[in-house]
């Protein structure tokens, strides 16, 4: 739309179903490239992507023509399908229901990019659960802990 100017930066965090550690180093970079393609094909700008074996962080410059929930729907459904078609996982691959989406100003982007790029090091000190709950508390997001993670029963 003419005369529409935005600067929207969203940090997404989402996990493998039941937080299973199934994203392997052998194909992780290919997954990141594939997700980057999904983001670009939806006319957004990928600023950073990284994660560990059970979850991913993505920093995106969002265009306001598409909702955050629609973008995440495409990222999760298309990447799951791609992982399963390529038989990267020994079992049927799924992402956990839901996601975290946290907004940042332009002045904070370098720190967020550095945070995302250092996931392996970061998770030597803190579990994903601790990290995720820290985000929710830092951003003052109301939540019910029983809906944060589905446990493998």
CA–CA dist 44, 65 (Å, integer): 10
Residue 132: the pLDDT is 86
Closest to 123 measured CA to CA, from 68, 50, 67: 50
- CA 146 to each of CA 85, 130, 153: distance values in angstroms, whole numbers, following the listed order: 32, 15, 14
Q: Where are the domains of the chain?
A: 8-138
- CA 69 to each of CA 28, 72, 75, 98, 100: distance values in angstroms, whole numbers, following the listed order: 23, 5, 10, 9, 11
Q: Is 70 exceeded by the pLDDT of residue 150?
A: no
pLDDT digits 0-9 by tens, 10-55:
999 999 998 899 999 999 999 999 999 999 999 999 999 999 999 9
CA–CA dist 4, 32 (Å, integer): 30
Residue 133: the pLDDT is 87
Looking at residues 69-96, what average pLDDT do you find? 97
Verdict on whether the full-model pTM lies above 0.85:
yes
- The CATH code of domain 8-138 reads 3.30.70.1290
CA 144 to chain centre: 20
pLDDT digits 0-9 by tens, 37-47:
999 999 999 99
Start-end of H helices in 8-98: 25-41, 68-85
């Amino acid at each position: 739309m003419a005369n529409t100017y935005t600067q929207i930066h969203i940090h997404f965090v989402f996990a493998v179903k039941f937080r299973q550690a199934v994203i392997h180093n052998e194909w992780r970079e290919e997954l990141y490239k594939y997700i980057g393609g999904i983001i670009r094909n939806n006319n957004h700008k990928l600023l950073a992507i990284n994660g560990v074996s059970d979850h991913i962080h993505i920093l995106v410059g969002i265009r306001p023509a598409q909702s955050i929930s629609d973008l995440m729907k495409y990222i999760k459904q298309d990447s799951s399908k791609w992982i399963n078609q390529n038989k990267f996982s020994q079992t049927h691959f799924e992402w956990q229901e839901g996601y975290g989406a946290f907004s940042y100003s332009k002045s904070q982007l370098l720190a967020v990019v550095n945070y995302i790029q250092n996931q392996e090091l970061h998770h030597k000190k803190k579990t994903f659960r601790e990290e995720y709950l820290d985000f929710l508390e830092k951003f003052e997001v109301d939540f019910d802990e029983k809906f944060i993670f589905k446990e493998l029963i």
